[in-house]
Structure 1
């Protein structure tokens, strides 16, 4: 499948040119890596497990242990204003020193590891990890190439509830995001779920993964979630609250827990368990959606390098119908 490459390189992104800023899409941050060359290699586990074990302070909250992609480049938290398309400090040296504006830095690919990837039926994987129990508060997607494991693009939006009163929203956000120090950026940038989906459809359309006029499922791509809750339960619930029809591209997905169980023959109740079993340190703040999506993407990269096949594990029969689970051995 031909992918529309509309992203700018990291070095270009850091230039303060007004023209450059006008070219940046308002809903993504990305780079466009070339597919890694295929070479015979030795075992690759070290490419994903060796990392710095030093904790870093992030924003005003806490952060878990983070890897350093290179020995000379320390890990930095992602600028969440940038992921919302609203960073106004791209020419501020201190801001650029403190925050990352390139999600690819957390998802490096070792060419020797990429050599181990088996041919996949899907071309692209959209790692999704929603946040919000009452209503969806955060909609982050990390897109990677299923064949090369390379980071392609990201979509990230904070979501403003539609039926909660302002006092409840304030309590909700302070309780959820205050501990990470990102409640201000949430309040500055959150938009209703219906608008988020409109922007997301533009994003997948720009990547030739789906066409609104044709409907149907994604083209040679699939969502990857850590569990069935995100697409089996939460998105349909939110669509009802937002009074919109469940989009057709949400009808099937890959539950990474099921792939993990069938590939490694061991159970993992969640992302942190997977990373502990694979001896991989986590990046960023757990339960901050964009950071969790990056961590899940890193697990996917590792599994691809180990030889796993990413396959659809669940399909919804209709917008209001039951879900069919395709794996006999699965996490209940």
Structure 2
């Protein structure tokens, strides 16, 4: 019988953005977000003591996003993500998408019309990059502040799966827990995380934001089912800066001419 921890959060927003990229660019590149997909998870069985193990997807939000600094996608980016030039050309800009997403949060009673939190919710991402890097970069380029509700609580699911796996394989009861072997010193990609939790292979197209998001949901749901406490494990600095950042949202072209 799995001993269930008290789960401090009422809802989870699973997010996996896609961004502009060129072949050979690293994490310092001024990526612009081109897909914003989110799945909302809530508990089905949370009791009066805050214990639960069954999460379900109750709503989804998805929008493509029109880049403004470099609106033309590279062929590398289109091949990697499957997102076409026509899709982003017809899409709203990032500030417009954020406003639509805020309406989504209000509709699901996560925040009120003033942006105050109504229930405890946590963003979930694969690695820390989506909000820590992509959102902060995009808000700079869009000349808007990072919304406060995007900086509250973030769980790096990849890190959580790794911690669960370390715990499970170190336990004398790991056969009952169900840990699957992982190669040492490898990046825990989404497919490898699914394997570690004994789940079926990746469903859909890798690097499609919505497909990545739905598969990350599967990981979060399974961690909960196995009695893992779901909580923030990464911090966000909305004032983080990169060398290419000039004044008032300007990208210094000498870095990427």
TM-score over 0.5 for the pair: yes
Which residue in the other structure is 1:253 paired with? Answer: 154
Whole-angstrom CA distance in 1 between matches of 2:128 and 2:80: 27
How many pairs are equivalent? 202
Residues 240 and 143 of structure 1: CA distance in aligned 2, closer, same or farther (over 3 Å)? same
Which residue in the other structure is 1:125 paired with? Answer: 12
Q: Helix, strand or coil: the match of 2:235?
A: strand
Q: Helix, strand or coil: the match of 2:13?
A: strand
Which residue in the other structure is 2:76 paired with? Answer: 175
Whole-angstrom CA distance in 1 between matches of 2:60 and 2:98: 14
Whole-angstrom CA distance in 1 between matches of 2:130 and 2:146: 13
Q: Helix, strand or coil: the match of 2:96?
A: helix
Which residue in the other structure is 1:61 paired with? Answer: none
Q: What is the 5 A alignment of 1:69-80?
A: none
1:229 is displaced (CA, Å) by 0.7
Q: What is the 5 A alignment of 1:19-30?
A: none
Can you give the 5+ residue segments of structure 2 that lack an aligned partner in the other structure? 22-30, 44-51, 170-181, 242-257
Q: Helix, strand or coil: the match of 1:137?
A: strand
8 A contact 2:115–2:149 mirrored in 1: no
8 A contact 1:126–1:223 mirrored in 2: yes
1:214 is displaced (CA, Å) by 4.4
8 A contact 1:218–1:249 mirrored in 2: no
Match of 2:102 among 183, 186, 201: 201
Whole-angstrom CA distance in 1 between matches of 2:39 and 2:3: 22
Which residue in the other structure is 2:226 paired with? Answer: 306
Q: Helix, strand or coil: the match of 1:219?
A: coil
Q: What is the 5 A alignment of 1:1-332?
A: 118-132=5-19, 133=21, 134-146=31-43, 147=52, 148-165=54-71, 169=72, 171-172=73-74, 174-177=75-78, 183=84, 186-187=87-88, 189-215=90-116, 219-251=119-151, 252-265=153-166, 269-279=188-198, 280-316=200-236, 319-320=238-239
Superposition TM-score, scaled by structure 2 size: 0.70
Can you give the 5+ residue segments of structure 1 that lack an aligned partner in the other structure? 1-39, 41-114, 323-332
Whole-angstrom CA distance in 2 between matches of 1:192 and 1:228: 23
Superposition TM-score, scaled by structure 1 size: 0.55
Q: Which has the higher contact order (CA 8 A, sep 6+)?
A: 2
Residues 197 and 275 of structure 1: CA distance in aligned 2, closer, same or farther (over 3 Å)? same
Q: Helix, strand or coil: the match of 1:311?
A: coil
Residues 282 and 116 of structure 1: CA distance in aligned 2, closer, same or farther (over 3 Å)? farther
